[in-house]
Amino acid sequence: MTRVSVAGARGRMGSLAVAAVQAAPDLELVAALGRGDDLAAAVGSDVFVDLTVPDQVMANVEWALGQGMHVVTGTTGFTADRVEQVTAWAQAADRHVLIATNFGIGAVLVMQLAAKAAPFFESVEVVELHHPDKVDAPSGSAIRTAKLIATARADAGLGDVPDATTTELPGARGAVVDGIHVHAVRMRGMTAHQEVVLGGPGETMTLRDDTYDRSAYMPGLLVGVRQVASRPGVTVGLEHYLDLD
Residues annotated as part of the active site: 130, 134
Q: Which of 158, 197, 229, 236 binds a second copy (CB under 8 A)?
A: 197
What are the φ and ψ backbone dihedral angles of 125, each rounded to 5 degrees?
Answer: -140, 160
Select from 199, 229, 236, 237 the one that contacts a second copy (CB under 8 A): 199
CA atoms within 13 A on the CB side of 145: 32
Sole window of 2-10, 43-51, 91-99, 203-211 interacting with a second copy (rule: CB under 8 A):
203-211
| Candidate residues 22, 76, 91, 215; the one interacting with a second copy per rule CB under 8 A | 215
Helix (H) or strand (E) holding 142: helix 140-155
Q: Say whether 75 sits in a helix, a strand or coil.
A: coil
211 is in an annotated binding site: no
Question: Within 10 Å of residue 227's Cβ, how many Cβ atoms?
Answer: 20
How far, in Å, CA of 9 to CA of 26, rounded? 20
Q: Provide the minimum distance between the beta carbon of 76 and a second copy in the complex, in angstroms, as a whole number.
A: 17
Contacts of a second copy in 65-124 (CB under 8 A): 104-107, 109-110, 113, 116-117, 120-123
Q: How far is the CB of 7 from a second copy (least distance, A)?
A: 22
| Residues binding a second copy: number (CB under 8 A) | 81
Q: Give the Cα separation of 153 and 103 in Å (integer).
A: 26
Of positions 25, 79, 157, 164, contacts a second copy by CB under 8 A: 164
* Torsion sign, CA atoms 124, 101, 82, 235: negative
Contact predicate 61/86, CB 8 Å: yes
Which residues is 196 bridged to in the sheet? 126, 207
Q: Is 233 annotated as a binding residue?
A: no
Q: How far is the CB of 22 from a second copy (least distance, A)?
A: 15
Residue 74 annotated as part of some ligand binding site: yes
Residue 100 labelled as part of a binding site: yes
Q: How far apart are CA 71 and CA 57, in angstroms?
A: 11
70 annotated among ligand-binding-site residues: no
Which of residues 200 and 232 has its CB atom nearest to a second copy in the complex?
200
Shortest Å, Cβ 94 to a second copy: 29
Specify the DSSP class assigned to residue 160: P
Dihedral pair phi/psi, residue 154, rounded to 5° = -60, -45
* Positions in 144-163 near a second copy (CB under 8 A): 161-163
**Which region, judged by CB under 8 A, interacts with a second copy, from 37-45, 69-77, 87-95, 237-245?**
237-245
One-letter identity of residue 37? D
Residue 10 annotated as binding site: yes
Q: Identify the three-state secondary structure at position 165.
A: coil
- Positions at the binding site: 8-13, 74-76, 100-103, 131, 140-141
